[in-house]
Amino acid sequence: MCDANRKDLIIMCRCEDITVDEVRAYIEQGVTDLEQLKRLLRVGMGPCQGRTCTPLIVNELARATGQPVKEIPLTVFRQPTTPVKLGVLAGGTDHE
């Protein structure tokens, strides 16, 4: 039995505990950019860094927008602006 009002509580992002229904709700509100979803829902920001949920969310975006999966832009990796030695973080060396 299919109920249109039933929420889809399947977990899409296990690290951040985000459901399919939560992702779809944002997409229905017009958020169709993976980077925006990442900022709003924290998908892809857990320990797996999106290895599990990103393909699922990209497929959901493709389905909702009618775009091919390969045309959905992925998020970008941003490296730290300045390398920091672990000793500095631990307070074990003199600061420059």
**Distance between CA 41 and CA 17 in Å, rounded?**
10
**Distance between CA 36 and CA 56 in Å, rounded?**
16
Say yes or no to pLDDT of 1 above 50: no
Say yes or no to pLDDT of 62 above 80: yes
Beta bridge partners of 28: none
Mean pLDDT of all residues in 61-66 = 94
Say yes or no to pLDDT of 22 above 90: yes
Mean pLDDT of all residues in 47-74 = 92
- Name the pTM for this structure: 0.71
E strands, 1-96, are 11-13, 18-19
Say yes or no to pLDDT of 91 above 90: no
Q: What is the number of alpha carbons within 13 Å of residue 7 lying toward its C-beta?
A: 8
Say yes or no to pLDDT of 96 above 80: no
Q: Tokens standing for 68?
A: 């091919």
Say yes or no to pLDDT of 80 above 80: no
Q: With cut-offs at 50, 70 and 90, classify the pLDDT of residue 93.
A: low
